[in-house]
């Protein structure tokens, strides 16, 4: 399963790494790709979208499902 998120508040590589680490900490995540320029994150694995959003928000950024 792949989940795509719109992530707000990222403006540097440090932000991108922080979001990547927060997403990787969620159980079931197999792979994370964060596109800083596009403000998007793509997550592969057996994951719950709400858990991914909560992890990003806990790291201090905004997140919602892409296309929302």
User: In the numeric block, which tokens belong to residue 3?
Assistant: 């989940």
Taking CA atoms, 49 is separated from 24, 28, 31, 57, in Å, by 13, 11, 14, 12
**For the chain, how many structural domains are there in total?**
1
User: What's the confidence (pLDDT) of residue 67?
Assistant: 77
What's the CATH code of the domain at 46?
3.30.70.100
pLDDT at 68: 59
Query: pLDDT tens digits, the chain, 68 residues: what are they?
Result: 999 999 999 999 999 999 999 999 999 999 999 999 999 999 999 999 999 999 999 999 999 999 75
**Encoded tokens for 31:** 């792979």
pLDDT at 54: 98
Which pLDDT belongs to residue 21?
A: 98
**Domain with 35 in it:** 2-65
Element holding 27 (H helix, E strand): none
Structure tokens at 47: 């994951």
């Amino acid at each position: 399963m792949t989940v795509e998120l719109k992530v707000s508040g990222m403006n540097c590589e440090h932000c991108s790494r922080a979001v990547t680490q927060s997403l990787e900490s969620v159980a079931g995540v197999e792979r994370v790709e964060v596109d800083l320029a596009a403000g998007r994150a793509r997550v592969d694995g057996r994951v719950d979208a709400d858990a991914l959003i909560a992890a990003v928000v806990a790291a201090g950024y905004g997140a919602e499902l892409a296309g929302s």
